[in-house]
Structure 1
Amino acid sequence: MTPITEVEGRRLALSNLDKVLYPATGTTKGEVLHYYAATAAGALLPHLRDRPVSFLRFPDGPGGQLFFTKNPPPGTPAWVRTAAVPRHEGQSARQVLVQDLSSLVWAANLVVEFHTPQWRADAPGIADRLVLDLDPGAPASIVECCAVALWLRERLASDGLLPYGKTSGSKGLHLLVPLEPTPSGQVSAYAKGLAVEAASALPELVVHRMTRALRPGKVFVDFSQNAAAKTTATPYTLRARAEPTVSAPVTWEEIEGCRAPGELVFLAGDMAARLDRYGDLLAPLIDPEAARPLPGYREQGGR
């Protein structure tokens, strides 16, 4: 029998709550739903709101089939909001907007990672943030990513930009910068320039090209997620890894002090205490007062 719960007046059928999704920790689907609904929702929902969501679904756990979808899944309730999103050659399609707790719990019941673009549904392709994905090639780890992040922080500061960090929830680190609304193409070009500069300044540590053969022992500064069609793991999302790792905001003190990869691995069970201690470390990303202009670009006429 499928349990029915009511969330914000919406009746939701929740399935397979005792199913173990993460065998390494014994974490069940019910615990995953509890993480999203009770622990993460207050911090996560503002980062999802008004952004078309892409889902990486892993209904049988990280060891089962994984599939990425931008389209609303079959059976999406009529009350779940969607938005028209530009696709190829002038076409558009609809994507889910997770605007409230009931939509979040519905989506979490599908067992998903949440991925969002750097722009909002009312302004497709107009970014309000910049992202740099620092991806280590073994034997490099997040420790090397932190060293690169410190260089990038100084470089961004020289342009009047303040980055914020989060773990990818996998092996790397994401840096995010709140921006005044800027076309994604302009942000991509600026981010690529940063990656090239980093590779020039730190040639033993950084690569800016995706070529796998170049990457062992180095950090790939991936600027591509600034493209309008690309997405990044949303802050606080669980990841389809061996353990229920979270794409978790971190302080600059933690980045500066990181000496071993395990120091910046955070699981679902760690997040309540971190949120109690720090609140949402990425709150500036959704505060218009924190946004700064991209160097060389000033918005014309406002959003």
Structure 2
Amino acid sequence: MSDDGVRTVRAGRRTVEVHRPDKVLFPGGGGAKEYTKGDLVDYYRSAAPLLLPHLRGRPLMLERHPDGIDGPRFMQKNTPESYPDWIRRVEETKEGGTVCHTVCDDSATLVYLADQASLTLHRWLSRVGRENRPDRMVFDLDPASGDDFAAVREAARLLGELLDELGLPSALMTTGSRGLHLTVPLNGRQDFDRTREFARDVAEILAEAHPDRLTTAARKKDRGDRLYLDIGRNAYAQTAVAPLTVRALPGAPVATPLHWSQLDDPGLHAGRWTIADAVEQARADPWAGVMSKARALGPARRRLDALRAS
């Protein structure tokens, strides 16, 4: 490290400067470990081989905390002009104007974003050039209470069984925050409207079968103590936290892929893995073979309609 508080980090073919690496982003206390910006950089550099396949070619929304998790939060869509030219960008034009999103295709970009205190990386479910053709469908299992993870585990089992019945593979991930995500790989031939409609119908049929435990009610006051089956990520320009991204919470929990068998662990919770051990968990390849089994929604839609009619 130089005298001016700058550390140089080799990431792929580039050398990236990390400024104030000793700056605390995750204060310790209350049983949580303290982590610095340097720790965040080291985590993302080690996670890069496992994380980048989930980021490449996808527009990002960056959740930045320049003063740490106790300071202000910035949700950044537009890429600042100060970012290096070698960082990829993609423009999205809407009625309100043009947004220039950051795209993270390599480890150097990942390290640079960590230096910018981009703690959490929220990715699109579609890729550049096919923005309205999602290749991921995400169900967010959001418990009524953060302490009720048993309800999350049970909802995941029920949803996974229904998706199996529909012929759709699914992968599990802790969110690092409250619940679990179930991700279904798609072949990218359907648009967001069709994908969202399908996800909504899946959630509704499951909630109708278990009305005392599950709900699709968007308003919290209408949910009671039932778990919310949230399908809102499945829309154009919406984002979902990327696998192995860090959450802005004490202890630096990480959104971490897991095996279906790990649902049987009564000690499982949304923040089970942190930057200290998430890479080790992911190296066990919990999603082995799942993401390569992309499906079309046509056959699944016919099975779902038959199930609803029965």
> Taking structure 1 as the reference length, what is the TM-score of the superposition?
0.90
- Say whether residues 1:153 and 2:160 are aligned partners: yes
Q: Deviations over 1:121-156 (max 9, x none)?
A: 120110111100111111663321111111111111
Distance 2:260 2:238 in 1: 26
Q: How far apart, in 2, do the equivalents of 1:108 and 1:282 lie?
A: 27
**Does residue 1:14 correspond to 2:22, yes or no?**
no
CA distance in 2, matches of 1:248, 1:242: 16
Task: Check the 8 A contact 2:59/2:102 in 1, yes or no.
Answer: yes
Structure 2 distance, partners of 1:170, 1:293, is: 30
Q: What corresponds to 1:294 in structure 2?
A: 297
Larger mean CA deviation between 70-79 and 7-16 belongs to 7-16
Report if aligned partners of 2:174, 2:269 keep a CA contact under 8 Å in 1.
no
Higher deviation after alignment, 209-218 or 112-121 = 209-218
* C-alpha spacing 1:69/1:263, structure 2 compared with 1 (3 Å): closer
Distance change >3 Å, CA 27–CA 46, structure 1 → 2: same
**2:221 counterpart of 1:213:** yes
Q: Contact 1:85 / 1:121 at 8 angstroms: preserved in 2?
A: no
Deviation at 1:85, TM superposition (A): 2.2
Tell me: CA distance 1:293–1:9, structure 2 relative to 1, closer, same or farther (3 Å). closer
What runs of 5+ residues in structure 1 fail to find an aligned partner?
299-303
After TM superposition, the runs of 4+ consecutive aligned structure 1 residues lying more than 6 A away are: none
* Residue deviations 1:69-101 (CA, integer Å, cap 9, x gap): 111135111110111224336x54321111111
Q: Any residues of structure 2 matched to 1:30-69 within 5 Å, and which?
A: 30-38=38-46, 40-69=47-76
Distance in 1, matches of 2:300 and 2:169, equals 17
- Count of matched residue positions in the alignment of Structure 1 and Structure 2: 291
Please point out which of 158, 165, 178 is paired with 1:171: 178
Amino acid corresponding to residue 193 of structure 1 in structure 2: D
**Percent of aligned pairs with the same residue?**
29
Shift of 1:297: 8.2
Measure the CA separation in 1 of the matches of 2:162 and 2:271. Answer: 23
What residue identity is the alignment partner of 1:224?
A: G
String of CA shifts for 1:89-124, please: whole Å, max 9, x gaps.
6x5432111111111111111122100111001201
Question: What is the SS of the residue equivalent to 1:14?
Answer: strand
Q: Which moved more, 1:229-238 or 1:215-224?
A: 215-224
| Residues 1:270 and 2:277 aligned together | yes
Would you say the 8 A contact 2:177–2:271 is kept in 1? no
What code does the residue aligned with 2:145 have?
A: A
SS of equivalent residue, structure 1 residue 194 = helix
Query: Does residue 247 of the first structure (1) align with residue 255 of the second (2)?
Result: yes
Question: Is 1:75–2:79 an aligned residue pair?
Answer: no
Deviations 1:218-244 (Å, cap 9, x if unpaired)? 211110100012100000000001120
Look up the equivalent residue of 1:101 and give its one-letter code. Answer: S
Cα distance, 1:192–1:128 mapped onto 2, change above 3 Å? same
Displacement, 1:280? Answer: 5.6
What amino acid does structure 2 have at the position aligned with 1:81? R
Q: When the two structures are superposed, what TM-score results if normalisation uses the length of structure 2?
A: 0.88
- Structure 2 gaps of 5+ residues are 302-310
Deviation sequence 1:172-218 (CA, Å, 0-9, x none): 10000001112011000011111111211111111101111133422
Partner Cα distance (1:249, 1:6) in 2? 27
Alignment partners' CA distance in 2, 1:109 and 1:50: 21
Offset at 1:19? 1.3
Contact 2:77 / 2:101 at 8 angstroms: preserved in 1? yes
User: Alpha carbon RMSD of aligned pairs, Å?
Assistant: 2.0
* Paired amino acid for 2:227: V
Output one character per residue of 1:14-38: Cα deviation in whole Å (capped at 9) or x when no partner: 1111112111211111111000002
